[in-house]
Amino acid sequence: MNCRSCKSSNTRVTTTEHHGNETWRYCRCNNCNARFKTIETYAILKPGAIPGKKQHVNCYRHLQGEQVGTSVLTEQNVHDIRSLARDNTTYVTIAKQFGIHKNTVYRIVKRKLWSHI
């Protein structure tokens, strides 16, 4: 974003505040040291967002497995991982096969992750 005083693009964000469906960014120009604020309003509400209410960090905690948008594995993958572990395949080999970390394989096999399956 450009400075409103000197039109320089050499600016930085000093603080960000979230207010419901808006994000306020307090900025400073590195050239002329001017301060200004931008307000961004989301055209589409975030999932589960209530206008005017700040969302908790764990507001998506009720989602499990494939419902989580960042999930790498599917339920079938989890079944395959557990069956491979029962067949005494090493966690490192399973991890390389599915593109995940060996500790993730351990946590799936011990039902610390994907425990609902």
Per residue in 32-83, pLDDT tens?
988 888 888 766 655 555 555 555 555 556 677 777 767 788 899 999 999 9
pLDDT of res. 69: 67
85 within 8 A of 106, measured Cβ to Cβ: no
In a domain, 88, yes or no: yes
Number of domains making up the chain = 2
In a domain, 83, yes or no: yes
In a domain, 48, yes or no: no
| pLDDT, greater one: 112 or 43 | 112
pLDDT of res. 65: 78
**CA dihedral for 70, 76, 77, 79, sign (positive or negative):** positive
Buried-exposed string 81-117: b where 16+ CB fall within 10 A, e elsewhere:
bbebbeeeeebeebbeebebeeebbeebbeeebbeee
In a domain, 63, yes or no: no
In a domain, 17, yes or no: yes
In a domain, 66, yes or no: no
pLDDT of res. 78: 94
Average pLDDT, the chain: 82
Q: What is the mean pLDDT of residues 89-117?
A: 93
In a domain, 92, yes or no: yes
Domain that residue 105 falls in: 72-109
Q: What is the mean pLDDT of residues 92-96?
A: 94
pLDDT of res. 106: 95
9 within 8 A of 32, measured Cβ to Cβ: no
| pLDDT, greater one: 115 or 50 | 115
In a domain, 60, yes or no: no
